[in-house]
Amino acid sequence: MNLDADAAYLAVTARDARFDGRLFVGVTSTRIYCRPICRVRTPKRENCRFFETPAQAEAAAFRPCLKCRPEIAPGPGLAWTVMDASRTLAAQAADWLDARAASGDTPTLAELATRLGVSDRHLRRIFQAAHGVTPVQYLQTRRLLMAKQLLTDTRMPVAQVALASGFGSLRRFNAAFAENYRMSPSRLRGAVNDDDVLPNGDAVTVTLCYRAPYDIARLTRFLAQRAIPGVEQVDALRIRRTLRSGAVAAAAGWIEVEFAPAASQVRLRFAPALAPFSAAMVAAVRRWLDLDAAPQTIDGALQQLPGDAGLRLPGSVDAFELAVRAVLGQQVTVAAARTLARRVVERFGETMATPWPEVNRVFPAPQRLARVAPDRIAELGIIGTRANAIVELARAWPALSQQLGSQHAPEQWIAQLCEVPGIGAWTAHYIAMRTLSWPDAFPPNDVAVLKAMKQLFNTGSQREANVVAQSWQPWRAYAVLRLWNSLEKTP
């Protein structure tokens, strides 16, 4: 962010939502830290300290505000390909810690350094420089903020909140909460007005925030066109779907998201069976809906292209489902691929009870399709090479899925995908674009992209298109979406 303190104070006094999630202000008179959009009275300049992350604020002994709730702020939305090597490593380390936040174990610095291929000392130095805290402090903050959100938004028992937030025991959770927030979990829950607790029945309901503008209509239209009947149902402001065991959590269940545009929020509700995996669910939905994007930055980089502000990159909550769908979509229309996906689900998927009769099927797991003879898939009207590719993809998925957390190294994962028979460069890039939420993906030889670029820039080849697209880095995936959209006929 690189704001000096005076500029940061101006952003706070203006309650500028563009800095939400990228800037936090600690008030020395109360030892509380807030989002820049907090509606409480603006503190005096001399009482303010500014931080880029909640972890930095909590390491300085500030506790999160109960009104603006830093735990629901959008993430920083940092670029992928413009950081130097040290910041890239620090970002990789933070991503891995984010993924481990919900687990009950605390990885050692040596374990993390080995995974990244650097020494303990080097990792400690670059992480501290990039994030202002140690890896352990960063992980602790993530877990405490998730616990605070569950205590505020739900009526889950405190012991269940502790486990869902990644704490190995209730005793350890109570001690960490009291030390960092100067109150017990039960006291925090008592401070929450019952009117603020989201109605959920037996489900878990939490609030997630994003930065406006957000082109909700465009995102829901994209997902609706590709929604598999029985698995997913999409309308103007709401998405409901099933999740197989292993997609996000070690349990199957259903999820519902509902946009609240006036508040720049999303209400996430999911089945009680998924409650122990709440942190993983929140992280997956944030990626799926691209809630951490910085639209002003992205839109500014794509001024050459037609399109409305606030375009988001649709991700995925089931990477395997998306990968199979990409294979089915090779050289056919979106509607035809949807029909083929429905047939796969009807033959090989399972039923699931949900609150909605229209959402009652689960996409087949990779281990299920790995045991299927390609001929049985081909019987559904899928050509033999693609049927074989689906089976080979399912068999390779245990190894491929191990790399899904390496979000800053998509090229390596793309290369692994291309080793699967029947998966070429375009399919692999498209899968990475949506399963890794890779903002700089630019699938090669995309017919629609090349057609749109010829109309807009008179390019005649992929090579010429690549030259023009260089100015869109690191947001070329959003450029792809704008190019696709430019070809749609206006009703």
For residue 303, the tally of other CB atoms under 10 A from its CB is 8
pLDDT averaged per 10 residues in sequence order, the chain, 491 residues: 82 91 95 95 95 93 95 75 67 79 72 83 89 90 94 90 89 94 90 57 89 97 97 97 95 97 96 91 94 92 94 97 96 95 98 97 98 97 97 96 69 93 96 92 96 96 96 94 89 47
Buried b (16+ CB within 10 A) or exposed e, 118-151: beeeebbebbeebbbbebebbbbbbbbbbbbbbb
Residue 410's pLDDT is 85
Residue 403's pLDDT is 75
pLDDT in tens, 116-127: 788 888 989 999
Strands 63-64 and 32-34 come out as parallel
Topology of domain 85-196, CATH: Arc Repressor Mutant, subunit A (1.10.10)
Choose among 352, 344, 349: nearest CA to 271. Answer: 352
Domain ranges of the chain: 5-70, 85-196, 204-435, 447-486
CATH number assigned to the domain covering 5-70:
3.40.10.10
What are the distances in angstroms from CA 412 to CA 395, 400, 407, 419, 432? 19, 10, 10, 11, 10
For residue 226, the tally of other CB atoms under 10 A from its CB is 18
Residue 136's pLDDT is 87
Active site residues: 34, 446
**What does the block give as tokens for 178?**
């009291």
Residue 79's pLDDT is 46
Residue 430's pLDDT is 97
Q: How many whole angstroms separate alpha carbon 416 and alpha carbon 400?
A: 7
Bond before 357 cis per omega within 30 degrees: no
Quick one: 204-435 is in which CATH superfamily?
Hypothetical protein; domain 2 (1.10.340.30)
